[in-house]
């Protein structure tokens, strides 16, 4: 990563995660108060650095010397927590500036989230911070905790909870209370955190900065988060690219999918919500795993920490309950995993091991036989795990029966002898003491264990999806796009720069100059000229009015199709001009476009529009009914690569149409790919606000832009 801001943030953020000393401004002896809880947390969790309570009303707090002001502290202060009413925060912050504090957390609320005045106050603090190179977390946040460093710089109740090992999950949240809930429940489910950051109003440091920091943290193996909206899309993109490089998955609960949700999210911390469809596409493109529930986060974390990789999507299900096996198989195929029937050697060897009434087909059903033959599960595992066609295994058995300990022993042995992802699903919870012992034993050996089959399947699918995505992202970083090195000629650039509204003809000339394929055509300013152009092109032709003022050509009766002779072209020319003048007497008329009539092929659309968060979004879909009735479009954020475009094309529901229905030839996908790639570069290079190619007509031979609209800004 060479991005300057990102690098700066990286080292600056050490003062939040690994401060040598912490001052708490607005310190309190009451551990339930925001100014008291961090002190208690730092002391009880064994923070090794120095703690400086600041409060003019006390001499000592929690046995520590208390300072009237942060300025009175003689030693250097790395991190200051400000926990005083909003109106006092600016003064306290000025003290921090004087004291040359490196990093400040502002717990206090009453800033941008409350309206105009709070916003001004927040801006004043931010300006001051930027001026003096102090980094700020908050305001209106719960702060930060870093478990390995025992940095308990938060007033959330989570400060009091005992850490769970391994401390591998980094969590960043735009909602303090929701984050606390996630943290507490995840611990209950045995998932431990490395760090927790509540970002509040993000006056200075934002969500992506902390994700970026945690990616480089060796303790953090995966990252979770709750997000209402990103402040800066390109920063989030850089972070996601880095995550793919490091193979550290990011799982985000991104809210605002619904109208009520986005209404609430935008009023909640005042973040820019943006269009959820764009987020959805961006996450998919960048390998960010979008989740909706805590269970998805914890089950993924449990599977991920086994540090095993799946070679593919083939799952074997070994279930002591036939019904349970079928339910799991349905769920697997429902999320896009395969449950292939076992064949050849594997089937043969399984049949030797299984009783005659068992099933070796996958799901594999060892039946009640496991009760009388406790080593049967291990025997089955041994056979299955050797099958190269099986990438992952789900084990589904009860634990509260005789011989369960022997059974588990054998299963653990098989688990350890393999490097494939394996999940143990058992519905026997820890309520029964014998089962509890076995559950603990399984967990202690590191086998991912879950109590709900569907969570196991979800986690497996996410793991495979993530591996596939991350590989593609890394691969495409290396991929050089040579599809075109086109540059617009100077004259064309001028046109783009100076025109307010471009006509269709101008747009297409621009695109042509950039190397894109357009229809054969010419602009006629007289009927005679039109006839000449038509003759050059060959009949039939299409004619369209060209005026920057007339955007709706059909409405203005400014289009004539299927003109087959000089006579028809001549009449059409006069009709079109006269219709246009009737429609808008003031309109500046450039002339009439005479264009070849493209027959056959499939109509597709390629477009781009600028998203306020992420920049140029590129859209692809089939034209006509597909886009109008089905909203069937694929979306990505520019810049995009060939890999992205190939996915876009295959992702639309109407893909079968491009493959050629009823024996029609398949559309030339290479030609579509080329157009989309060039458009994605063009809109960035020339800062295009909106571009609309509708339709691009694609045959088996190639593609032609039939109509286009470009809006500069």
Q: Which of residues 242-281 bind its own copies (CB under 8 A)?
A: 253, 255-261, 263-265, 267-269
351 binds its own copies (CB under 8 A): no
CB of 417 to its own copies, least distance (A): 26
Write out the binding residues for its own copies, residues 656-695 only, by CB under 8 A: 656-657, 661-662
Considering only residues 181, 277, 495, 513, which one is a binding residue for its own copies as defined by CB under 8 A?
181
551 binds its own copies (CB under 8 A): no
Residues in Cβ contact with 31 at an 8 Å cutoff, skipping those fewer than 6 apart: 37, 39, 40, 62
Q: What number of chain residues touch its own copies (CB under 8 A)?
A: 80
Considering only residues 223, 332, 638, 667, which one is a binding residue for its own copies as defined by CB under 8 A?
332
**Adjacency order of strands within the sheet including 422-425:** 315-319, 392-396, 422-425, 449-450
As a 3-state breakdown, the chain gives helix, strand, coil percent values, each rounded to 5, of 45, 20, 35
Tell me whether residue 229 or residue 287 sits nearer to its own copies (CB atom): 229
Q: Phi/psi of residue 185, each to 5°?
A: -70, -35
In angstroms, the CA 89 to CA 93 distance is: 6
CB of 318 to its own copies, least distance (A): 12
Considering only residues 14, 127, 216, 292, which one is a binding residue for its own copies as defined by CB under 8 A?
292
Residues in Cβ contact with 490 at an 8 Å cutoff, skipping those fewer than 6 apart: none
CB of 506 to its own copies, least distance (A): 26
* Other Cβ atoms within 10 Å of 301 Cβ, number: 25
581 binds its own copies (CB under 8 A): no
Task: Please tell me whether residue 31 adopts helix, strand or coil conformation.
Answer: coil
367 backbone φψ class: left, alpha, beta (φ>0; ψ -120 to 50): left
295 binds its own copies (CB under 8 A): yes
CB of 17 to its own copies, least distance (A): 23
Considering only residues 179, 192, 212, 448, which one is a binding residue for its own copies as defined by CB under 8 A?
179
CB of 225 to its own copies, least distance (A): 11
520 binds its own copies (CB under 8 A): no
Considering only residues 398, 403, 446, 532, which one is a binding residue for its own copies as defined by CB under 8 A?
398
**x/- site string to its own copies, residues 185 to 214, per CB under 8 A?**
x--x--------------------------
Tell me whether residue 268 or residue 570 sits nearer to its own copies (CB atom): 268
Residues in Cβ contact with 300 at an 8 Å cutoff, skipping those fewer than 6 apart: 222, 249, 251, 289, 291, 458, 459, 462, 463
CB of 627 to its own copies, least distance (A): 10
Considering only residues 78, 206, 217, 228, which one is a binding residue for its own copies as defined by CB under 8 A?
228
* Cβ proximity of 374 and 407 under 8 Å: yes
362 binds its own copies (CB under 8 A): yes
Compute CA distances 297 → 192, 224, 303, whole Å: 12, 7, 10
What token pair was written down for 268?
């909640």
Tell me whether residue 476 or residue 653 sits nearer to its own copies (CB atom): 653
Write out the binding residues for its own copies, residues 628-657 only, by CB under 8 A: 628-630, 653-657
Considering only residues 10, 18, 164, 178, which one is a binding residue for its own copies as defined by CB under 8 A?
178
Q: What secondary structure, in 3-state letters, does 340-359 show?
A: CCCCHHHHHHHHHHCCCCCE
346 binds its own copies (CB under 8 A): no
Name the segment binding its own copies (CB under 8 A); options: 17-25, 586-594, 627-635, 696-704: 627-635
Q: Which residue has the tokens 């979800």?
A: 458
- As separate numbers, helices (DSSP H) first and strands (DSSP E) second, the chain gives 26, 28
Tell me whether residue 458 or residue 596 sits nearer to its own copies (CB atom): 458
484 binds its own copies (CB under 8 A): no
427 binds its own copies (CB under 8 A): yes
CB of 188 to its own copies, least distance (A): 7
Q: How buried is residue 120: exposed, middle or buried, by Cβ count under 10 Å (0-12/13-18/19+)? A: exposed
Compute CA distances 612 → 519, 662, 678, whole Å: 33, 42, 22
Look at strands 21-25 and 50-54 and give their pairing. parallel
Task: Please tell me whether residue 337 adopts helix, strand or coil conformation.
Answer: coil
64 binds its own copies (CB under 8 A): no
CB of 235 to its own copies, least distance (A): 22
Considering only residues 72, 91, 117, 452, which one is a binding residue for its own copies as defined by CB under 8 A?
452
323 binds its own copies (CB under 8 A): yes
CB of 18 to its own copies, least distance (A): 28
30 binds its own copies (CB under 8 A): no
CB of 1 to its own copies, least distance (A): 30
Q: Phi/psi of residue 662, each to 5°?
A: 45, 45
In angstroms, the CA 682 to CA 443 distance is: 53
Write out the binding residues for its own copies, residues 117-176 only, by CB under 8 A: 157, 173-176
* Relative orientation angle of helices 566-583 and 527-537, to the nearest 10 degrees: 130
Tell me whether residue 174 or residue 694 sits nearer to its own copies (CB atom): 174
Closest C-alpha to 408, from 426, 433, 430, 393: 426
In angstroms, the CA 218 to CA 315 distance is: 31
564 binds its own copies (CB under 8 A): no
Considering only residues 162, 431, 586, 713, which one is a binding residue for its own copies as defined by CB under 8 A?
431
């Amino acid at each position: 990563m060479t991005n300057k801001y990102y690098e700066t943030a990286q080292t600056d953020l050490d003062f939040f995660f690994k401060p040598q000393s912490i001052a708490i401004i607005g310190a309190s002896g009451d551990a339930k108060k925001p100014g008291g809880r961090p002190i208690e947390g730092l002391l009880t969790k064994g923070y090794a650095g120095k703690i400086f309570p600041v409060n003019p009303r006390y001499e000592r707090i929690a046995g520590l010397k208390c300072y009237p002001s942060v300025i009175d502290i003689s030693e250097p202060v790395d991190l200051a927590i400000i926990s005083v009413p909003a109106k006092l925060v600016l003064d306290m912050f000025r003290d921090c500036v004087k004291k040359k504090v490196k990093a400040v957390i502002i717990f206090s609320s009453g800033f941008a989230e409350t309206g105009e005045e709070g916003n001004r106050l927040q801006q004043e603090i931010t300006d001051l911070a930027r001026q003096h190179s102090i980094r700020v977390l908050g305001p209106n946040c719960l702060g930060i905790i870093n478990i390995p460093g025992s940095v308990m710089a938060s007033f959330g109740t989570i400060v009091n909870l005992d850490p769970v090992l391994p401390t591998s999950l980094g969590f960043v949240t735009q909602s303090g209370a929701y984050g606390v809930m996630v943290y507490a429940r995840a611990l209950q489910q045995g998932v431990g955190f490395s760090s927790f950051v509540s970002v509040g109003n993000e006056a200075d440091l934002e969500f992506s900065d902390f994700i970026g920091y945690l990616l480089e943290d060796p303790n953090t193996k995966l990252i979770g988060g709750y997000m209402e909206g990103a402040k800066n899309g390109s920063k989030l993109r850089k972070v996601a690219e880095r995550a793919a490089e490091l193979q550290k998955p990011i799982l985000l609960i991104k809210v605002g999918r619904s109208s009520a949700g986005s209404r609430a999210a935008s009023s909640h911390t005042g973040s820019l919500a943006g269009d959820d469809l764009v987020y959805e596409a961006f996450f998919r493109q960048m390998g960010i795993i979008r989740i909706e529930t805590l269970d998805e986060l914890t089950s993924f974390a449990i599977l991920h920490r086994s540090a095993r990789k799946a070679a593919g999507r083939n799952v074997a299900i070994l279930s002591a309950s036939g019904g349970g096996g079928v339910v799991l198989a349905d769920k697997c195929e429902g999320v896009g995993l395969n449950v292939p029937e076992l064949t050849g050697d594997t089937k043969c060897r399984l049949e030797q091991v299984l009783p005659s009434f068992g099933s070796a087909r996958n799901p594999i059903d060892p039946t009640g036989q496991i009760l009388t033959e406790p080593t049967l599960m291990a025997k089955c595992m041994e056979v299955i795990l050797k099958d190269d066609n099986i990438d992952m295994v789900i084990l589904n058995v009860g634990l509260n029966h005789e011989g369960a300990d022997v059974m588990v022993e054998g299963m653990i042995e098989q688990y350890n002898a393999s490097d494939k992802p394996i999940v143990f699903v058992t519905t026997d919870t820890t309520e029964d003491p014998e089962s509890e012992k076995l559950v603990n034993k399984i967990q202690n050996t590191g086998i991912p264990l879950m109590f709900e089959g569907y969570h196991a399947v979800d986690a497996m699918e996410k793991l495979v999806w993530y591996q596939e995505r991350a590989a593609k992202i890394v691969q495409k970083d290396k991929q050089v796009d040579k599809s075109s090195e086109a540059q617009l000629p100077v004259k064309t650039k001028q046109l783009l720069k100076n025109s307010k509204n471009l006509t269709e003809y101008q747009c297409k000339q621009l695109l042509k100059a950039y190397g894109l394929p357009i229809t054969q055509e010419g602009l006629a300013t007289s009927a005679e000229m039109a006839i000449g152009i038509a003759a050059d092109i060959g009949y039939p032709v299409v004619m369209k009015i060209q005026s920057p003022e007339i955007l709706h050509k059909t409405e203005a009766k400014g289009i004539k199709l299927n003109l087959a002779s000089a006579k028809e072209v001549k009449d059409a020319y006069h009709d079109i001009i006269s219709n246009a003048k009737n429609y808008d007497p003031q309109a500046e008329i450039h002339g009439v476009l005479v264009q070849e009539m493209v027959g056959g092929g499939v109509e597709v659309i390629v477009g781009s529009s600028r998203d306020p968060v992420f920049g140029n979004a590129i859209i692809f879909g089939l034209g006509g009914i597909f886009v109008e009735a089905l909203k069937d479009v694929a979306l990505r954020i520019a810049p995009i690569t060939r890999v992205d475009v190939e996915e876009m094309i295959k992702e639309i529901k109407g893909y079968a149409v491009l493959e050629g229905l009823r024996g029609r030839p398949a559309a030339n996908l290479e030609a579509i790919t080329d157009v989309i790639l060039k458009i994605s570069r063009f809109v960035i290079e020339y800062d295009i606000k909106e571009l609309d190619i509708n339709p691009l007509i694609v045959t088996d031979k190639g593609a032609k832009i039939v109509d286009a609209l470009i809006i500069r800004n």
